Structure 1
Amino acid sequence: MTTIPTRDESAFPVEFADLTESLVNDYDPIELLSRVTAICVDLLPVQAAGVMLADQWGALGIIASSSEQMHLLELLQLQTNNGPCLECYRTGEPMNTLDLSGPGASRWPEFARRATAAGFRGIAAMPMRLHHDLIGALNLLSEQPVPLSHYESRVGQALADLATIAIVHERTLRRPELPVEQRLAVLNQRVIIEQATGMVAQAGGYDISEAYAVLRRRARESGRRLTDLATALVEGRIAVAEADPPG
């Protein structure tokens, strides 16, 4: 079967360099992981991407999604305890694109039904490893069930590895901790960002994707880390109007 070529192979070194440059500066891990999912969509023949991270009990949580549809499909996997991202995390093996209207339909029936209804037919996943420990997985959804090429698979795994490094490196710079505690800190940050996103959505009449974009844009414009802005909003130290000023 012929694979769809990567959208722009020459763009990968530039995108990767931008991400790695962030690792030597002060960065927000949630913001960087959101960038990873967006870059997956830019560089690979996929239309959605998401990152899940495990807590100290091995339970996965949603950390970043390239779209609201992806977020809902990740949430479905957690609710049903069944899906490609969970399988990739449990086995530690990368998953090349499977047809959700074929083999994937019997493997993950509810996920396949909802994903195909949303316009996706292909699923791939990359494990996130820290030494010999599995800490999460990167999900990739495509409109066509065309297998990733060897090059595309390596790009996907490199981005999953960079996401792992981003999680561990940020916490180590600020306060050396055990790897499990590092992951818990990032999961907690995600919860705070979701709360802040909900506040912006309610106040501004946005959907969740729009509210998250508003929050990210305001963090960049104000020179704050996304997590710091979200925390200030949730704790009432700033008003919603400061996070979403009139244009």
Structure 2
Amino acid sequence: MAELEALRAAVLAALDDPDAAAGVDAVGRVCRACVRLLPVDGAAVSIMSDAQNRETVYASDAVSVALGELQFSLGEGPCFQAYATGGPVLVPDLAKAAAPHWPVFAAQVADYPVGALFTFPVQIGTIRLATLDTYRTTAGPLSAAELSVALQVADIAALALSGLAAGDDSWLDEDGRWLEESSTMRHRQVHQATGVLIIQLELPAGQALSRMRAYAFSHDRPLADIAADIVGRRLLLVEDQG
């Protein structure tokens, strides 16, 4: 497909740009092209290493941002499944899908205008480093040809990510503007709050984050807000809180 080759060429050109923002902009190009090439309404790319570390590099729209934040808050969702298994997670009809891997996310995502979810692992060789997360507002599967395009877009996303400078934690909105408060900044506060709980409750990092997620879920509050309260010493979690 000519547009895929044009996208690949544009990403390669961006990688030669010395501007520090070029790598993130290349990821943005991939997400925007994904929405043009596939029957989806939004796309995002998130770097991952495990359930405790997930950062959105670029999201094409507000719903994609919200879906990413929801998955990070809960520690479950199709992006975690795709990253763990190394295969695509295709949910053509979210309302009818059985989601044994992420039941809480499946229940809460019903509040969003999402009819289908398609998530693809992004990797360089055998190294898995991110996911390409897409959604559509109406239910419906991807055809074999569309699935092939999606997998090629995921490969180009891997190419784009290779151009990100080490430690670059900025991202762009759908208009190419730098966001003043990126998801990375909010996630950094979650990591800080996790550190506080490690000391206060003498827990391993994974259990500390799980405790914070459980508290946020049980009190119907965003994880980022709970983290801000812990870091700001407005909230103290004790042993019997969940």
**How would you bin the TM-score normalised by the shorter chain?**
0.5 to 0.7
Name the structure 2 match of 1:34: 28
The one-letter code sitting in structure 2 at the alignment partner of 1:166 is A
**Separation in structure 2 between the aligned mates of residue 64 and residue 165 of structure 1, nearest angstrom:** 15
**Separation in structure 1 between the aligned mates of residue 71 and residue 119 of structure 2, nearest angstrom:** 13
Name the structure 1 match of 2:9: 17
The structural deviation recorded for 1:106 is: 5.5
Name the structure 1 match of 2:197: none
1:64 paired to 2:81 = no
CA contact (8 A) 2:92 2:142 kept: no
Instruction: Report 1:165-244 matches (<5 A).
Output: 165-171=159-165, 182=166, 185-186=167-168, 188-190=169-171, 213=175, 215=177
Name the structure 2 match of 1:82: 76
Q: CA 1:50/1:39 → structure 2, altered by over 3 Å: closer, same or farther?
A: same
Provide, for residues 108-158 of structure 1, a one-character-per-residue CA deviation record: whole Å limited to 9, x for no partner.
Answer: 344334434322110111111122121111011012232212222222122
**Separation in structure 1 between the aligned mates of residue 7 and residue 128 of structure 2, nearest angstrom:** 25
Q: CA 1:21/1:150 → structure 2, altered by over 3 Å: closer, same or farther?
A: farther
Name the structure 2 match of 1:203: none
Name the structure 2 match of 1:3: none
**Separation in structure 1 between the aligned mates of residue 135 and residue 112 of structure 2, nearest angstrom:** 11
Aligned match of 2:151 in 151, 157, 161? 157
Identity %: 23
Give the TM-score normalised by structure 1.
0.62
CA contact (8 A) 1:97 1:148 kept: no
CA contact (8 A) 2:31 2:60 kept: yes
Q: CA 1:40/1:116 → structure 2, altered by over 3 Å: closer, same or farther?
A: farther
The structural deviation recorded for 1:104 is: 4.7
1:139 paired to 2:133 = yes
1:127 paired to 2:121 = yes
Q: CA 1:167/1:105 → structure 2, altered by over 3 Å: closer, same or farther?
A: closer
Consecutive unaligned residues of structure 2, counting only runs of 5 or more, are 179-242
CA contact (8 A) 2:91 2:97 kept: no
Consecutive unaligned residues of structure 1, counting only runs of 5 or more, are 1-8, 172-181, 194-208, 217-247
Which has the larger helix fraction?
1
What secondary structure does 1:134 align onto? strand
Q: CA 1:166/1:144 → structure 2, altered by over 3 Å: closer, same or farther?
A: same
The one-letter code sitting in structure 2 at the alignment partner of 1:51 is V
Instruction: Report 1:44-63 matches (<5 A).
Output: 44-55=38-49, 59-63=53-57
**Separation in structure 1 between the aligned mates of residue 136 and residue 11 of structure 2, nearest angstrom:** 23
CA contact (8 A) 1:83 1:108 kept: yes
Name the structure 1 match of 2:190: none
Range that drifts further, 142-151 or 72-81: 142-151
**Separation in structure 1 between the aligned mates of residue 158 and residue 52 of structure 2, nearest angstrom:** 15
Provide, for residues 156-212 of structure 1, a one-character-per-residue CA deviation record: whole Å limited to 9, x for no partner.
Answer: 1222222222222454xxxxxxxxxx4xx23x334xx7xxxxxxxxxxxxxxx6xx7
1:99 paired to 2:85 = no
**Separation in structure 2 between the aligned mates of residue 47 and residue 55 of structure 1, nearest angstrom:** 26
Give the TM-score normalised by structure 2.
0.63
CA contact (8 A) 1:122 1:146 kept: yes
